[in-house]
Structure 1
Amino acid sequence: MSFAAEAASGVPTLPEVHSGIPQYLLEKATHAKNWVFEGRTKEQRARQRLPVVPLGIERDEFLKALSELKETLGNEHVEINDKPLQDGWYMEHPNTHDMMTILDDEEFVASAVVYPSTTEEVQEIVRWANKYLIPIFPISMGRNLGYGGAAPRVRGSVTIDLGKRMNKILNINAEDYTCLVEPGVSFYALYNALEERGLRDHMWIDTPDLGGGSIIGNTVDRGVGYTPYGDHWACHSGLEVVLPTGEVIRTGMGALPGNNTWQSFPYGFGPYSDGIFSQSNFGIVTKMGMTLMPNPGGYESFMYTFQKEEDLAPLIDIIRPLRISNILENVAQLRHVTQAIAASGLPRTKFYSGTGRIPSDVIHAAAAETPVGDYTWAYYGMSYGPAHIRSHKLALIDAEFHKIPGCRKIDPSTLPADEYFWSRDRIAAGIPDIHELRWVNWAPNGAHIAFSPVSPIRGADATQLFELGKAVQDKYGIDFFPAFCVGLREMHLIVEIVFNRDDPEEKQRALRCLREMVDLAAAKGYGEYRTHLVLMDQVAGTYKWNDGALGKFNERLKDALDPNGILAPGRCGIWGKRYRGFGWELGSERTDGGSEGHGVGPRVE
């Protein structure tokens, strides 16, 4: 299909497709799709592809094993990945590979995709994988963009697409403000369900920047949103998990037959085991409970701008006590003007055609032409509650922020409907959007990968990380998109590196830049909270206190729960015994551009 034909085809909608867009965002999604394809020059491969067979198994044996799985699940629920790789876009993304790959297209690629419909079928797949020693890689929706998307870490793994047929909202409890969902339920879908059931005025969901991801997938990867319920992992309660040997467990109160508090009390009795199923490869989550936010009775978004880069340190020190005391109530964002200009959706060439980092004067000239006007930092926040409560909190915030010379409070009534402010307004009110990622159009065939260290909420730390990132990206000639997301007692610096995924040199430069930033930040005590598949070994290696005691502990858990190492080997830098010692790790020293090791060990007896 040509680029024009792909762009012209309709955007999938809810409830026709579990992964579709809600009707209220259809027009916006259609425009977003057109913008993506306007900047696309990457040619799709027309040739047929042989399926990539995972190391350690012969092709004939692999195809025989797939035939057996088809008999179990049904022929139509097992697909061999032998077609050209189509990158798609956010709403029509691939489930066979990473649409934003930083390595060669054929590296992080699945051999086949299977579609279970029940927990019992997931168990059958896991037992099958152990029988044939075939690596499997579960996804919920496959929209973990910037971190690997739907791609498996081990080339040739069989992807378990949980979302397509396991997409039910099993329960919404309006009295307890809880829900129970399967992996294929997106933030869009849960929001739609609240609207359809007349519950939106009663309770809210919390949503990340884009609403198309799986609630389970985002939560177990410890993603965040932007209401006071923004720490999604802290807001979950109760998991159903298929273990790598095929057993199924329920955590917390779910282990009590006939329980009535699985979604209300997360701990149950005995050790709290939920944590080992977040950012790991120790089990496949098939059901999860989530707490929902009571409607606060009113809300009001606000935006402040600050003129100088040097304002960062005093501003962060002002934010810290306001955030810890919950005067600043949500996971708000402090964004740099460069990313704001890119968020217009216009390509970089509209502003500058030179090489190296885009000059500061060019960015500020572009900002001066916008409805917001020129600035360097913008703070987006929201106040919740009845008007008299909001006015008290907002007055405190205003007085503190105006201690920074040149601070301006932006009047929302002056901003047009497509201004980025209104996307932040909707998201902070628990209304999923699709505005984010416009800045990926900054580069042709735009893709992104993130540097995301965690630090205390201190001006000195913010400055140190900002200067580190700026210096390294200057070195590599990459435009700098920093944003600080401030939690209760920590903050994440999210630096998005936007690159042309059809330019091998640009991809290598982006990866070298990111690897350097990770190592430099770790040396100063700042660790990544989440990362792309290609960096998982490197990032895991930075958590090396006491001779890497944590990594060794994770390996012992892996070997106990997954003796054959079949479940998502290598995810978050955790390799089973059959893979260790065979060169699978992708550290800074790995320069061959590949992702595979040189073999796999025998079955563990």
Structure 2
Amino acid sequence: MNQHASTCPRPTARDDVRRKLEDALRGCTQSGRLVGADEAAARMQDTCVHTREGRPLVLAIRDSEEIAHALAHARAAGATVHPVSSGRNWGYGTARPGRGVADLILDLSQMNRILSFDDDLGIVRVEPGVTQGQLAAFLARKGARFMVPTTGAGPDCSLMGNALERGYGMTPISDHFQAVLGLAAITAEGRPYRSALQQGDAPGPYRWGVGPYLDGIFSQSGGAVVTEMVLQLKPRPERVEMFVFWLSRDSGLGETVEAMRALCTRSGLEIGGINLMNAARIEAMAGASATRGCPWVGTGVVFGRRRVVRAGRGVIRQALRGKVRALRFVNEDTLRLARRATGLRPLARLIPAALHDMVSSVGAAHEVLSGHPNAFALQLAYAGSDRPFPKAGIGADPAQDGCGLLWYAPIVPMRGDAARTYVDFVTRTCATHGFVPPITFSTLSSSAFDSTVPLLFPRDAENSERAMSCLRALIAQGRALGFEPYRFHADLMDEATSAAPDHWWLAERVRAALDPDRVISPGRYAPPTDVFGLNADFIEGRSQ
């Protein structure tokens, strides 16, 4: 037997479809640029090694017309496509399509225009490739005092991609999809869509139109390619003050959670959010000294006029009194003083120890909370890797740099007993798989936390399999306790759709009407097989 023939993979029906599509795209000058094989392979790197790697084509797109032409070619070839914005969805699959099912990746990162900006209302209209850093530079050039909706993923990540994934931060509109006033999209059949109140040249200032609200069907979904998004920005307040507190004992977790809820709901302060992080999370981001030997460290942010924020310190002190070992307040003035003093030995002893030890980390965190994106939190992704974090985070890319990262991100009720149950279950489950969990609770509403647990590991096949097994166990056991994830890795769409059958039945009915041939992202937030009798066996056939 010919050895070469026995070791090379046999062509499949999907290979034939891709060849047909590739020929059509190369013969068309209006449908974008097909990137080379090496660039395409780099684009598909993830923060986890996968046993089944797809071989999709990658098409660099510059405008909506190219999207429409590319979709027409895909329909004609019987192909599937998956759009990505910046493709930096690290820990959730990066640029991978749902369950790896796609013949063509539409790379929208070159669609990076800021189409309009109302400097009175703070309304900005952007394309998919516009990043946090790009918007920050744009606002700075204009002298516009509005805040960028920042995240821990850093300045090179797409605003639109994060909003469509329902990401969040700690600037005043913490739930980033809540800031979406409208959008434009192209359906799989090539038909344009625009939100009800975004029909004119000037973006509308209100998200709800007349009749059914439809923009939500493009969030965590497929069926269309979103080409524009209108976002409401919040004005930069006179004062952004961060507060940091340390818990001396783990048993104080429950009462501290209750105090956090009271601050968010009854204090009368404009609190962007509060994070409560265990020692493992703090050490991964800022080093062991930042914990001051405490099991939990909290950070929060207050926005407002100087005198209001100053008065709010008393409210925060009262809420946390008797529950924390130490409490510090950080603003532009204290940071300026600390930065000056750290270089002057005679004054160094006058700076509080926590600020002196963490001036760089606290300063970077304060920048993000103030709506200035930076890569400070991204160094967490490098904690399980031998690769050092790039200086100042410049050029940091965990997928390209060989980092191992998977996220577990469930919703946890903001109650002390729920937090205690959650921490115990996560710690126990992670230990079974050889992980020490870096846990964060982030206030997402007046009643709910989003908790994020990054699984950090050397990126190889064995450790990737161990991490994925741990993630599946966390999802299953967490669900049994009532902790449902709000977001899933691209390869875990079977887990995402395994609960709430009534919800997914209707979602699939809507999707089938919008994209009857399952052209756009067929495996993304959709059941792995056609369990509801719509286009039977379609998705399974596409994965061959």
Tell me the TM-score range normalised by the shorter chain: 0.7 to 0.9
- Map of 1:79 onto structure 2: 35
1:81 Cα deviation after fit: 3.0
Check 1:373–1:57 CA distance in 2 against 1; reply closer, same or farther (3 A cut): closer
CA distance in 2, matches of 1:64, 1:84: 18
Q: Which has the higher helix share?
A: 2
> Which shifted more, 177-186 or 67-76?
67-76
1:318-357 Cα shifts (integer Å, max 9, x gaps): 1112112453611221111112112147xxxxxxxxxxxx
Is 1:377 the counterpart of 2:296? The answer is: yes
1:272 partner SS? coil
Q: Give the TM-score normalised by the residue count of structure 2.
A: 0.85
In structure 1, the gaps of 5 or more residues are: 1-49, 86-93, 346-366, 585-596
Which one has more relative contact order, counting CA pairs under 8 Å at least 6 apart?
A: 2
RMSD: 2.6
- Map of 2:278 onto structure 1: 336
- Map of 1:103 onto structure 2: 50
Which of 204, 228, 242 lines up with 2:172 in the alignment? 228
Is 1:421 the counterpart of 2:362? The answer is: yes
Is 1:190 the counterpart of 2:135? The answer is: yes
Which of 474, 477, 483 lines up with 1:526 in the alignment? 483
1:419 Cα deviation after fit: 3.7
1:273-327 Cα shifts (integer Å, max 9, x gaps): 0010000012111000001111211221121111222211110011112112453
Which of 206, 210, 217 lines up with 1:276 in the alignment? 217
- 8 Å contact 1:333–1:379 — kept in the other structure? yes
Check 1:247–1:140 CA distance in 2 against 1; reply closer, same or farther (3 A cut): same
CA distance in 1, matches of 2:495, 2:75: 28
1:113 partner SS? strand
Q: How does 1:547-586 map to 2 (within 5 A)?
A: 548-574=501-527, 582=537
Check 1:264–1:574 CA distance in 2 against 1; reply closer, same or farther (3 A cut): farther
1:197-223 Cα shifts (integer Å, max 9, x gaps): 121xx2222211122211111101101
1:574 Cα deviation after fit: 4.4
- Map of 1:294 onto structure 2: 235
- Map of 1:4 onto structure 2: none
1:563 Cα deviation after fit: 1.1
Check 1:243–1:396 CA distance in 2 against 1; reply closer, same or farther (3 A cut): same
1:149-193 Cα shifts (integer Å, max 9, x gaps): 0112334521000112x1100111101111000011000000000
Check 1:193–1:110 CA distance in 2 against 1; reply closer, same or farther (3 A cut): farther
Amino acid at match of 2:182: G
Q: How many residues align?
A: 493
CA distance in 1, matches of 2:166, 2:424: 27
1:74 Cα deviation after fit: 5.8
- Map of 1:594 onto structure 2: none
- Map of 2:343 onto structure 1: none
1:387 Cα deviation after fit: 1.8
Check 1:554–1:68 CA distance in 2 against 1; reply closer, same or farther (3 A cut): same
Check 1:275–1:108 CA distance in 2 against 1; reply closer, same or farther (3 A cut): farther
Amino acid at match of 2:219: S
1:138 partner SS? strand
1:89-124 Cα shifts (integer Å, max 9, x gaps): xxxxx42x13312423xx343421112222122111
In structure 2, the gaps of 5 or more residues are: 1-7, 339-354, 386-401
Amino acid at match of 1:187: Q
Amino acid at match of 1:98: Q
- 8 Å contact 2:31–2:66 — kept in the other structure? no
- 8 Å contact 2:47–2:405 — kept in the other structure? yes
1:581 Cα deviation after fit: 6.0
CA distance in 2, matches of 1:328, 1:290: 20
Amino acid at match of 1:491: F
Check 1:372–1:156 CA distance in 2 against 1; reply closer, same or farther (3 A cut): closer
2:174 partner SS? coil
1:252 Cα deviation after fit: 2.4
CA distance in 1, matches of 2:382, 2:432: 23
- Map of 2:426 onto structure 1: 469
Which of 224, 234, 250 lines up with 2:194 in the alignment? 250
> Which shifted more, 211-220 or 414-423?
414-423
- Map of 2:205 onto structure 1: 264
- Map of 2:113 onto structure 1: 168
CA distance in 2, matches of 1:562, 1:183: 21
CA distance in 2, matches of 1:141, 1:110: 19
- 8 Å contact 1:167–1:181 — kept in the other structure? yes
1:130 Cα deviation after fit: 1.1
1:241-280 Cα shifts (integer Å, max 9, x gaps): 111111011012124xx364x3411122211100100000
- Map of 1:306 onto structure 2: 247
1:125 Cα deviation after fit: 1.2
- Map of 1:348 onto structure 2: none
Is 1:208 the counterpart of 2:151? The answer is: yes
- 8 Å contact 2:443–2:450 — kept in the other structure? yes
CA distance in 2, matches of 1:328, 1:404: 22
1:30-75 Cα shifts (integer Å, max 9, x gaps): xxxxxxxxxxxxxxxxxxxx9998x64453x532421222333469
> Which shifted more, 321-330 or 140-149?
321-330
> Which shifted more, 189-198 or 572-581?
572-581
Percent of pairs identical after alignment?
24
1:567 partner SS? coil
> Which shifted more, 134-143 or 228-237?
228-237
1:330 partner SS? strand
Amino acid at match of 1:208: T
